[in-house]
């Protein structure tokens, strides 16, 4: 029997309303339990430390063809951080496109135990799962791309919501996916002809449908099916100054959708920072964060993650081909474009966010403004949209910015003052508490994707726990450097009841599970017939070779939907 007692730490378990209470956590056979006798278990002394459920990252590009093309594109990036093999760990490279093993190690070292890959092109889903097998220490799931899929467009055009619902379930099962991801709906399809869409009511070539129709139809289908997560939406016009209007318009369009029972949200807007720009051009760009925050504060059907920018060299990669083309033209860096037949696309451009660049400074401020001005931490989550805003390894830095005005001041002082006037960050005096950090990095994210045994420490929950060596009673915001250190290398990370990290060092590398949706609609036979016909005509592979076999998920965790 593997038993563990984490003794005497300050526990932050927001789902259970535990806010820094000094208590013991008991873990047995991989699960949190009510109580254990001390002589039957291994005891970790956590006195004077912070104890939280393991981190859950809702949006991080860790596996698949896109990140792998990024890795291939950037040998110069890897040379900044090389990692030797040890007796227990494999070697690899880090920084903005870390190799698979290193991705697992780095997350675990920060106390994260679950990560969700946000953009899986269906036809290369096998690739995503192959890489996820090589990412140890983390439980995972991947969101399947739907927003520019031939069949989505076809059923939206026909207004056939039942076929759309059947298709969503069929494709999630075929790709072993977990949620409906939408990237620049309509824009990526138009990009196949070298064009984009300009807003919610522009048309998708040859289909005659609009992004608004695609988004609302998918959201409606998503909620009627009762999928664990809302639609996961990368809005139109990403990176275009003035796009905050499109973002609010998009949120507004989803206000009337009826959410599944037990939840209030109908949309998660991803890396919102990139979609919260005010102004007309990059020359006069301003922050639109306050306007978005005001909208989100007044409407409980929206959640966002911030997509914080870090001042560093990173690799941008999105499923938004036309945006990456724009960024290539803006930056002059090297550019990879990858279109995916009938389904999706992607682009990759290396990019350096600089303090001396006014637009970058404003972007940096926007992420923090969103986090500070949206008052409900259950609906605004920490992310850097790894690696788009910056590598996930900078999360501890973002935590210090959120928890310490002094830390933000230090950064703001290095930025051009006139830029800071185009944002309202200097007026934000809010500082996150440890409890709020626990919400935006695990409790709320786990809840948003409805991973029922994650993000809390109720008996029965998974034994995924992180212990950080910082005393919340002695800590003050001026001591943000200690905070960053504590969150960078966890004192302990416990995964499935096993101590995997101690003093920031990896002790063992167990594999993680993969969660996916395993349900079928009643009208699936009709759908499959329709799909098969188009598949034969338009795809370059046979439909029989399309679905990902479950053998690609050695620790498969299928989820059946109740509503279906």
By the criterion CB under 8 A, which residues form the site for other proteins? 63, 65, 68, 71-75, 78, 82-85, 90-93, 97-101, 123-124, 126-127, 130-131, 134, 191-194, 206, 325, 328, 334-342, 348-349, 537-542, 544-545, 549
Contacts of 28 (CB under 8 A, 6+ apart): 1, 2, 3, 4, 36, 41, 463, 497
Query: What tokens were used for 533?
Result: 């016909």
Q: Which is nearer to other proteins, 83 or 406 (CB)?
A: 83
Of 144, 171, 140, nearest to 155 (Cα)? 171
Minimum CB separation of residue 358 from other proteins in Å reads: 26
Contacts of 505 (CB under 8 A, 6+ apart): none
Minimum CB separation of residue 335 from other proteins in Å reads: 4
Q: Which is nearer to other proteins, 100 or 424 (CB)?
A: 100
Q: Which is nearer to other proteins, 91 or 409 (CB)?
A: 91
Q: Which is nearer to other proteins, 183 or 270 (CB)?
A: 183
Residues constituting the chain: 564
Q: Which is nearer to other proteins, 130 or 410 (CB)?
A: 130
Q: Which is nearer to other proteins, 126 or 173 (CB)?
A: 126
Per DSSP, the three-state class of 153 is helix
Minimum CB separation of residue 127 from other proteins in Å reads: 5
Minimum CB separation of residue 392 from other proteins in Å reads: 16
Bridge partners of residue 1, in order along the sequence: none
Contact 324, 335 (CB under 8 A): yes
C-alpha gyration radius of the chain: 22
Strands (DSSP E) found in 306-383 = 313-318, 336-340, 344-352, 380-381
DSSP 363-386: HHHHHHHHHHH---GGGEE---TT
Minimum CB separation of residue 175 from other proteins in Å reads: 12
Q: Which is nearer to other proteins, 140 or 212 (CB)?
A: 140
Contact 247, 206 (CB under 8 A): no
Minimum CB separation of residue 97 from other proteins in Å reads: 7
CA dist 13 and 380 (Å) reads 17
Minimum CB separation of residue 490 from other proteins in Å reads: 23
Minimum CB separation of residue 423 from other proteins in Å reads: 32
Q: Which is nearer to other proteins, 282 or 335 (CB)?
A: 335
Q: Which is nearer to other proteins, 95 or 364 (CB)?
A: 95
Q: Which is nearer to other proteins, 99 or 519 (CB)?
A: 99
Minimum CB separation of residue 94 from other proteins in Å reads: 9
Cα–Cα–Cα angle for 259, 248, 437, rounded to 5 degrees: 70
Of 400, 407, 409, 415, nearest to 427 (Cα)? 409
Bridge partners of residue 296, in order along the sequence: none
CA dist 94 and 411 (Å) reads 25
CA dist 205 and 190 (Å) reads 6
DSSP state of 443: I
Buried b (16+ CB within 10 A) or exposed e, 168-177: bbbbbbbbbb
Q: Which is nearer to other proteins, 34 or 549 (CB)?
A: 549
CB count in 10 Å sphere of residue 532: 13
CA dist 211 and 236 (Å) reads 8
DSSP state of 548: P
Minimum CB separation of residue 115 from other proteins in Å reads: 15
Of 534, 128, 99, nearest to 319 (Cα)? 128
Minimum CB separation of residue 82 from other proteins in Å reads: 4
Q: Which is nearer to other proteins, 192 or 299 (CB)?
A: 192
DSSP state of 560: -
Minimum CB separation of residue 147 from other proteins in Å reads: 17
């Amino acid at each position: 029997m593997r038993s563990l007692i984490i003794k005497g730490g300050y526990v932050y378990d927001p789902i259970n309303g535990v806010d820094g209470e000094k208590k013991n956590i008991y873990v047995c056979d991989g699960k949190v339990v009510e109580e254990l006798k001390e002589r039957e278990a291994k005891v970790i002394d956590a006195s004077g430390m912070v104890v939280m459920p393991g981190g859950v990252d809702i949006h991080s590009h860790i596996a698949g063809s896109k990140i792998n093309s990024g890795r291939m594109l950037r040998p110069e990036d890897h040379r900044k951080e090389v990692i030797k093999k040890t007796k227990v760990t494999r070697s690899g490279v880090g920084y903005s496109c870390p190799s698979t093993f290193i991705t697992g190690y780095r997350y675990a070292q920060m106390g994260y135990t679950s990560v969700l890959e946000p953009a899986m092109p269906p036809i290369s889903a096998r690739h995503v799962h192959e890489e996820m097998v090589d990412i140890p220490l983390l439980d995972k799931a991947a969101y399947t791309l739907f927003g520019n899929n031939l069949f989505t467009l076809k059923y939206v055009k026909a207004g056939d919501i039942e076929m759309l619902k059947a298709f969503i379930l069929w494709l999630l099962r075929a790709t072993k996916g977990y949620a409906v991801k939408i990237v620049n709906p309509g824009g990526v399809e138009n990009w196949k002809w070298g064009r984009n869409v300009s807003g919610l009511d522009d048309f998708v070539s040859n289909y005659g449908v609009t992004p608004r129709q695609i988004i609302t139809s998918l959201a409606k289908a998503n909620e009627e099916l009762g999928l664990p997560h809302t639609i996961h939406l990368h809005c139109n016009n990403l990176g275009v100054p003035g796009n905050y209007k499109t973002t609010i318009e998009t949120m507004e369009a989803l206000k009337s959708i009826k959410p599944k029972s037990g939840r209030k949200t109908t949309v998660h807007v991803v890396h919102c920072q990139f979609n919260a720009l005010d102004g007309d051009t990059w020359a006069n760009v301003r922050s639109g964060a306050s306007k978005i925050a005001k909208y989100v504060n007044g409407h409980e059907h929206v959640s966002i993650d911030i997509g914080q920018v870090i001042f560093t060299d990173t690799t941008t990669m999105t499923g938004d081909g036309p945006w990456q083309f724009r960024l290539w033209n803006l930056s002059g860096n090297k550019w990879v474009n990858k279109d995916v037949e009938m389904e999706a696309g992607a682009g990759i451009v290396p990019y350096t966010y600089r303090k001396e660049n006014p637009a970058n400074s404003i972007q940096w401020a926007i992420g923090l403004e969103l986090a500070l001005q949206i008052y409900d931490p259950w609906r605004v989550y920490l992310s850097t949209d790894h690696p788009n805003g910056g590598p996930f390894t900078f999360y501890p830095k973002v935590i210090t910015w959120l928890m310490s005005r002094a830390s933000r001041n230090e950064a703001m002082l290095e930025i051009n003052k006139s830029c800071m006037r185009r944002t309202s960050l200097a007026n934000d005096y809010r500082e996150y508490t440890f409890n709020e950090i626990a919400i935006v990095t695990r409790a709320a994210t786990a809840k948003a994707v409805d991973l029922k045994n994650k993000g809390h420490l109720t008996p029965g929950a998974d034994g995924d726990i992180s212990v950080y060596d910082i005393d919340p009673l002695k800590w003050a915001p001026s001591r943000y450097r200690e905070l960053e250190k504590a969150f960078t290398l966890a004192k302990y990370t416990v995964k499935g009841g096993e101590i995997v990290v101690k003093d920031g060092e990896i002790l063992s590398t167990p594999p993680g599970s993969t969660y996916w949706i395993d349900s079928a609609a009643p009208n699936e036979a009709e759908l499959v017939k329709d799909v098969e016909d188009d598949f034969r005509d338009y795809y370059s592979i046979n439909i029989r070779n399309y679905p990902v076999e479950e053998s690609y998920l050695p620790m498969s965790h299928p989820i059946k939907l109740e509503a279906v």
